[in-house]
Structure 1
Amino acid sequence: MPSYRVGSLNGRSRQAAMLISDIAATLAVQKAGQPGRLFDIFEFDDDDKKLITQTLGNGEVCGVAALPSGVLAQFQEAVMAGVWHIRFTDPAGDLIAEYIEVAPIPMAVRRACTALPTLISHGPEPPGAMNVMPLMTEIGNRMVQYRDGDPAHVIILSLFPMSIEDVNFLQVTLGAGPVQLTSRGYRPCRVAAAGARNVWSVQFYDNMGKIVVDMLQIVDIPAVAIATEEDFRSSAAHLRDVEEAYFK
């Protein structure tokens, strides 16, 4: 629950109050498999934006997505899962758009991945390799077989005996993609798109910052970052409570 200062709400805006009501109504009907809804707040004044940000708070997931156009999307999930605050900046770093989005994951994340290649290519087996070539074959085959909506194919790298040569070859071949995010859930997690379509690095950390599970997932978006339909309904109820307590 975000913290509120009574003084900061005395001059609350009708525009901000209406937005909170609209977000709650959208959460109540949002479906996991449907496109999300954007609420444009770019032209809201600074006080309204501050009030909206304070009301929504900061949740577990945040990240960045570099769009093919060169625009960078920075996103932060609210305390209410499935609500995202997204800021778009141009290559010069200037803010060009700002939205609140109700969606399983920001649309910008999917858009950022559209230009990625659907196949991977690589050179011959490097000296000192142990398991990387069969691993590359498995990744390539799963990429070809994958269809939107399929469950993730998970490859737990932590369980593979891999040499330094294997790791380097894998990293160079897959490359770095346009999306990076972190989740501060039950166990901290970092998720990064590879430079190939539907290939993601997912790493879970302990409280000391040590990797405890290192995996690749072949999937459109890893589930750890996605809000579910249950999340939407819970968030709708939570936001209605906040609206009733502070905006009515």
Structure 2
Amino acid sequence: MRAGEGPNAAGRSRSAAGALLELDMLDGAELARSCPNAIELLSNITEAIASQKTDAPTRLFRLGDFNHLERELLAGIIGEGEVAGVVALPGGSLVQIQEAVLTGLWHVRIETDSLHEYLEVGAIPEIVKRAAADLTAADFEIGQPPEGAMNVLPVLAEIHERALAWRPGMRSLIINFTLLPMSPIDMSFLQETIRIGPIQLVSRGYGTCRVLATGIRNVWSVQFFNAMDTIILDTLEVGGVPTVAIAADEDFEDSAEQLREIIEVYFK
């Protein structure tokens, strides 16, 4: 289960085998002979996921010389999980991120002059952390709020202090705007001050959670929506990548077990 999931986040017990129904009609021995590179990759990923921890460095696996059947096989096994997003790079390039149905496994596509894609095992792709650190401002100034502002200045002062002081391993500060009396003028001035950052992530369970990096380092907007797309929780987090978007240790254990079962059933 993802650490710190919100009120409408779904359980993480989805089976990757559900993405493989189309393979039931194929012979396992033939698949093994036709897809040696894909099977070797899956075995290596299984080992990586089994030993992965949330706070450990990620591991990358290049998607290289695979034939058409191998790519179809990998796509069927990997599928698409609940978390997806984009990272905007300088110069207008985009990084597309899609979590697999196997939590903690990510498909990353970097669109520059050419396409680079790879699979990554970890709590969150490393490029998300790098963009959050390198493409945001370390500090910000608090200007004079407009007439009619009520509570925005002390909120911004707390954000400023905690954003500068935060270090990995520290608890995140969560500011709940659903409960905090903030006027539309307050919210508008706050948004103008912290700005929009380079990262947009969406986690879809029974509802939707949208995680947006702001333009300020260590400051994130996290909003939860119900099935009717009505916002039910509006927060700002000061800290690392919000836990609703990252894989937990037990997720890696579950995903490794699912991959072992898939390899056993389809290729042995």
Please say if 1:117 is aligned against 2:137: yes
Alignment-derived partner of residue 8 in structure 2:
none
Mapped partners of 2:171, 2:98: distance in 1: 25
The answer on whether the counterparts of 1:177 and 1:192 sit within 8 Å (CA) in structure 2 is yes
Mapped partners of 1:32, 1:38: distance in 2: 15
Could you tell me which of 241, 244, 251 is aligned with 1:224?
Answer: 244
The answer on whether the counterparts of 1:67 and 1:108 sit within 8 Å (CA) in structure 2 is no
Alignment-derived partner of residue 34 in structure 1:
56
The answer on whether the counterparts of 1:183 and 1:189 sit within 8 Å (CA) in structure 2 is yes
The answer on whether the counterparts of 1:66 and 1:179 sit within 8 Å (CA) in structure 2 is yes
Unpaired segments of 5 or more residues in structure 1? none
User: Which amino acid is the alignment partner of residue 145 of structure 1?
Assistant: A
Quick one: higher RCO (CA 8 Å, sep 6+), 1 or 2? 2
Alignment-derived partner of residue 100 in structure 1:
119
CA deviation profile, 1:101-141 (whole Å, cap 9, x unmatched): 00100011011122211112132021111111111101001
Could you tell me which of 44, 52, 59 is aligned with 2:66?
Answer: 44
User: Equivalent residues in 2 for 1:66-215 (5 A)?
Assistant: 66-68=88-90, 70-90=92-112, 94-95=114-115, 97-115=116-134, 116-215=136-235
Question: SS where residue 217 of structure 1 aligns?
Answer: strand
CA deviation profile, 1:32-84 (whole Å, cap 9, x unmatched): 22111100004434432222111111111111112346542111111111000
Mapped partners of 2:243, 2:77: distance in 1: 26
Mapped partners of 2:91, 2:63: distance in 1: 22
- Please identify runs of 4+ aligned residues in structure 1 that moved more than 4 A: 7-12
User: Which amino acid is the alignment partner of residue 192 of structure 2?
Assistant: V
Cα offset for 1:5? 1.3
Mapped partners of 1:136, 1:207: distance in 2: 31
Q: In percent, how many aligned pairs have the same letter?
A: 44
Cα offset for 1:151? 1.6
Question: SS where residue 244 of structure 1 aligns?
Answer: helix
Q: Structure 1-normalised TM-score?
A: 0.93
Mapped partners of 1:86, 1:190: distance in 2: 19
Q: Structure 2-normalised TM-score?
A: 0.86
Mapped partners of 2:26, 2:110: distance in 1: 27
Cα offset for 1:166? 1.0
Mapped partners of 2:206, 2:238: distance in 1: 23
User: Which amino acid is the alignment partner of residue 176 of structure 1?
Assistant: I
The number of equivalent residue pairs is 245
User: Which amino acid is the alignment partner of residue 78 of structure 2?
Assistant: L
The answer on whether the counterparts of 1:27 and 1:102 sit within 8 Å (CA) in structure 2 is yes
Could you tell me which of 19, 22, 33 is aligned with 1:2?
Answer: 19
Cα offset for 1:187? 3.6
Alignment-derived partner of residue 242 in structure 1:
262
CA distance 1:32–1:69, shift in 2 (3 Å) = farther
Alignment-derived partner of residue 65 in structure 1:
87
Mapped partners of 2:26, 2:202: distance in 1: 30
Mapped partners of 2:64, 2:172: distance in 1: 36
User: Which amino acid is the alignment partner of residue 207 of structure 1?
Assistant: A
